[in-house]
A and B are shown apart, each in its own frame.
Chain A
Amino acid sequence: MKQRRKLTPYLYSTPAFILIALVIVFPILYTAYISLTNMNLFHWADYEIIGLENYVRALTKVDSGFLSALLVTLLWTVLNMVIQVVAAYFIALGLNREGLKGRRIYKTLLMFPWAMPAYVSILLWRVGIYNTEFGLLNKILVEIGLSKVNFLSTNVPAFLSCMVLNLWMALPFMIMMIDGALQSIDRSYYESAELDGAGFWVKNIHITIPALKGIIAPSVIMTTFTTFKQFDIVYLLTMQKGAYSGATLQTVITYAHQNAFVSNNYGLSSAVSIIIFFLIMVFSVFTNRGVKEESNE
């Protein structure tokens, strides 16, 4: 009887574990195994183990394209996160200004981009906003007498277009999180600061930002991960099956996906996948520790 009670929790978790083993663990192990082989279009069945060659190729050969993709991804993550947090901070701050009526309506309307299915939004933006013939941006350009621009055909405009879309999709979440955190700050701090004659910036730097830091850290970290792993926007805007827009923008994730499903370079793609997983793990262990230390203080 005692023995049975000891086994109960394992028994309860077994169905979930089988599912996770099949869908999450197996692919990781399989990917790790393939990363050590030369499997590609020509060696589909008769591949052999070649050791760490794929890793060496990804990390040291510039022409493999992985390092530049990594650089683009880091730039993408940093730019997006900085703009997102700063913009969301000021938007949320304004929403919490005393005496502002109708903030609930504003908040609800601002949530819409977050609620839309991501792929629907991206496809709508691709045709409805950026397209040369039907896109709103080009219609506006023509209306004010300028010539049409193909936003997705070269790398820099494509990068910026992806970024605008990402901000559009991700800002609502950040605004909500910061708005929630702002409401948890004790009003009396501001009152005593005002008595001391503190202005807008002083109150922000000395009261609001320090109080917010700990509360919004988890959501900022979470969003950093999603931004780093962002695939849908770049893929659907610039490189759908058979509909390349001309830009050769690659993030690490699209790079791994392209190598597996377009150039059928499975070995290299798997090695890149494992490197990405490793980077994410290191980063998450690092940030987990940071958050814990901050909340212990």
Chain B
Amino acid sequence: MSKRKVKNRLQLGALHIFYILLCFLSLVPILYALQLSFSGSGGALSSGLSILPQDFTLDNYRRIITEKPFLRWFSNSAVLAALTMVIAIGFAVVAAYAFSRYRFRGRTGILKVLLLLNAFPQILSMFALFRLLKEMHMLDTKLGLVIIYAGSMCIFSIWNMKGYFDTIPTEIEEASKIDGASDFQLLWKIVMPLALPAIIVTAVMVLIFVWNEYLFSTTFLLNENSYTLAGGLYQLQSNDYSRSWSMFAAAAILVSLPVLVIFFCIQKYMVSGLTAGGVKG
């Protein structure tokens, strides 16, 4: 072996050690939660450091599902996410189509203003939204929250899908127009099927946004029956977590699992979607 080859081997070996350590470090919080979720009740307080769970048990998972209204939180979150997705995507698809295919007065201006509006941090509008919902008697209702979520994801969805619509050539539409297809038919039968990947990715990102949102759902849903997963988890960790900490770990794993699966399915598309529209906050 030449000297150069030895040096190359050593460098690669060092890199491997570095990346194994880095991966381990970045997974530690998750692995720790995983370990605790499978441990018996003493696991959290014991001072020992071990990677494998002490006295392996599924008890925490059983308890979170049977003793806490976890399934209700889960279905609340799922309903909110699904409704938001339908409204946000439904509204945004037609708007994105209009911005992509028509040239009308104020088009570029409106697009820019939308981006600027999107820069306003959502948290700062919470007080105004609180009063708005109160006036509309929609505090503590799913519909109120769905409207807020759909509105906050609307601009992002329009920009994201408009970008993709722009890349679809208009020739097919023009041909169908000559054949007498209406605008609605064009959108429904030609553009939507062609843009399906972009629509699905945008829809999934709306889903993940609602699933991961905690501040509005814990501020606006005050009734325990309407708690989402965020509200439930929040309550679990704030009420004497000495007893429920391993249960909280189990719940955290259950909440994250669907998002992790979806994330790794669409990861490839997410990066291009995120940066396509330029500055988004």
Would you give the 0/1 interface string for A111-123, flagging 1 where the beta carbon is closer than 8 Å to chain B? 1111111111101
Residues of B bordering A, CB below 8 Å: 8, 11-12, 15-16, 18-19, 22-23, 26-30, 32-33, 36, 44-45, 47, 49, 87, 90-92, 94-95, 97-99, 102, 104, 107, 110, 114-121, 123-129, 131-132, 147-148, 150-152, 154-155, 158, 183, 211-212, 214-215, 219, 230, 233-234, 237-238, 241-242, 245, 248-249, 252, 255-256, 259-260, 263-264, 267, 271, 274-275, 278-281
User: Which segment of A55-63, A74-82, A188-196, A273-281 sits at the interface?
Assistant: A273-281
Given known pairs A16-B92, A20-B155, the reply for A27 and B128 (CB within 8 Å) is yes
User: Which segment of A46-54, A64-72, A214-222 sits at the interface?
Assistant: A214-222
- Beyond A111-B263, A219-B275, 16 additional contacts (C-beta under 8 Å) are A9-B102, A20-B114, A20-B151, A28-B125, A30-B131, A31-B128, A97-B11, A113-B30, A119-B214, A123-B233, A123-B237, A133-B45, A143-B49, A276-B121, A281-B116, A287-B279
Bound CA span A171–B23, Å: 12
Would you give the 0/1 interface string for A96-126, flagging 1 where the beta carbon is closer than 8 Å to chain B? 0101101000101111111111111101111
- Chain A residues whose CB sits within 8 angstroms of the CB of B102 once the complex forms: 8-9
Considering only CB atoms, which chain A residue lies closest to B148 in the complex?
A23
- Chain B residues whose CB sits within 8 angstroms of the CB of A243 once the complex forms: 238
Given known pairs A110-B26, A117-B259, the reply for A100 and B274 (CB within 8 Å) is no
Considering only CB atoms, which chain B residue lies closest to A108 in the complex?
B264
Given known pairs A16-B158, A277-B119, the reply for A124 and B125 (CB within 8 Å) is no
Q: CB of A25 within 8 A of chain B?
A: yes
The 6 closest A-B pairs by CB, nearest first: A23-B151, A27-B125, A27-B128, A12-B98, A9-B102, A115-B263
Bound CA span A110–B110, Å: 39
CB <8 Å contact, A127 and B245: yes
Considering only CB atoms, which chain B residue lies closest to A99 in the complex?
B12
CB <8 Å contact, A118 and B212: yes
The 7 sampled A-B contact pairs (Cβ below 8 Å) are A10-B104, A19-B87, A19-B154, A225-B279, A241-B238, A277-B119, A280-B281
Q: CB of A13 within 8 A of chain B?
A: yes
Bound CA span A106–B128, Å: 45
CB <8 Å contact, B12 and A100: yes
CB <8 Å contact, B281 and A120: no
Q: CB of A86 within 8 A of chain B?
A: no
Bound CA span A31–B23, Å: 44
CB <8 Å contact, A128 and B33: yes
Pick the most buried of A23, A31, A125, A229: most chain B CB atoms within 10 A of its CB. Answer: A23
Give min CB distance, B134 to chain A, whole Å: 12
CB <8 Å contact, B8 and A99: yes
Given known pairs A129-B29, A134-B45, A280-B281, the reply for A12 and B252 (CB within 8 Å) is no
Considering only CB atoms, which chain A residue lies closest to B149 in the complex?
A23
Residues of A bordering B, CB below 8 Å: 6, 8-10, 12-13, 15-17, 19-20, 22-28, 30-31, 34, 91, 94-95, 97, 99-100, 102, 106, 108-121, 123-129, 133-134, 136, 139-140, 142-143, 168, 171-172, 176-177, 180, 218-219, 221-222, 225-226, 229, 231-232, 235, 240-243, 253, 256-257, 260-261, 266, 269-270, 273, 276-277, 280-281, 284, 287-288, 291
- Chain B residues whose CB sits within 8 angstroms of the CB of A176 once the complex forms: 271
CB <8 Å contact, A226 and B281: yes
Given known pairs A27-B129, A28-B117, A118-B212, the reply for A111 and B256 (CB within 8 Å) is no
Given known pairs A8-B102, A218-B275, A232-B215, the reply for A19 and B91 (CB within 8 Å) is yes
CB <8 Å contact, A110 and B23: yes
CB <8 Å contact, A253 and B271: no
- Chain B residues whose CB sits within 8 angstroms of the CB of A118 once the complex forms: 212
Bound CA span A119–B29, Å: 13
Bound CA span A277–B248, Å: 36
CB <8 Å contact, B117 and A20: yes
Bound CA span A74–B174, Å: 52
Bound CA span A143–B155, Å: 51
Given known pairs A225-B279, A276-B121, the reply for A16 and B154 (CB within 8 Å) is yes
- Chain B residues whose CB sits within 8 angstroms of the CB of A20 once the complex forms: 114, 117, 151, 154-155
Given known pairs A99-B12, A257-B126, the reply for A128 and B29 (CB within 8 Å) is yes
CB <8 Å contact, A225 and B132: no
